[in-house]
Amino acid sequence: MNEPGGPRADVLLWGVIAAWTAVTLASFFAPAVLSPNHARYVNVALMSVFTLLHGARRYGWAGIGVYFAIACLVANGFENLSITTGLPFGQYHHTAAMGPKLFQVPLIIGPIFAVAGYLAWVVTGILLGAVFGAPEHGLAVARCVLAAAVTTMWDLCVDAIGGTVNRDWIWAHGGAFFGVPWLNFAGWLLTMWVIFQLFAGYVTRVGQVRPVPVASPYWLQPVVFWLLIALQFPLLALIVPEAAITDAAGATWSMHGLFTSMAVVSVFTMGFTGLLAWVLLARARAGH
């Protein structure tokens, strides 16, 4: 199968981004038509399509398939380990709301790590200026560490909502970050670093990374997607009603305060990295 590229691929990728936006807005403003729980599965499927199509142009179908498999296997393995031992994410368990499981972890978890990580991987590459030509192997470790941190920015915005508000997963002892323990974020950092380091090792061995011109819409698409994901949190903060919510450990939180905090976090983490990537991309295009 040929790798996707050209105007048709760009239209398809923009279409996936538009569909994700429409599904997200429908779940916010018309939950009777599309519930947030059902929207989650649709959106993860859309983001998986984006990851595979977008990634295939640079890494080939085999390469992006290897990335996706690594992400799913490592994420599922680390989550099962944490549910059993408490490390690396802390002591918790998933509820039935997350759907069918592989061992103790819902099947949807692996793709969530994969798609969030892929966007962060590309955004980090743009921030480092390491994506517009041949791969710079000297940046391999640095990019993996930084991309893991950028992916964890996304998790900072979603875990309190998923765990404390939606009860998709339950922390046995709660946590100071709106019911989430700090260890969870260390676990995300570790898990994503392992995923990226394994993928970087594969890319180095195979050595078939295709250059994409800096002027191509290819580079703008993941940046726009990342920023749209960030913007959903300020939007949620504007529409969520005030209420008191209690986490599984018995701590009580303000729902409006929780969503407002996630909005602030998203602006100064995901929003900042996305805007900086946009500026650096524009500068790189001007230089060419």
Q: Show the tokens assigned to 165.
A: 């508000």
Residue 209 has φ and ψ, to the nearest 5°, of -90, 120
213: left (phi over 0), alpha (psi -120 to 50) or beta: beta
Residues of the chain with pLDDT under 70: 1-4, 133-138, 288
pTM to 2 decimal places: 0.96
* Domain edges within the chain: 7-24+32-287
* pLDDT value, residue 2: 58
Using an 8 Å Cβ cutoff, are 272 and 159 in contact? Answer: no
Give CA–CA dist 148/121, Å, rounded: 8
Condensed to tens digits (0 to 9), the pLDDT of residues 133-155 reads: 665 666 778 999 999 999 999 99
* pLDDT value, residue 136: 63
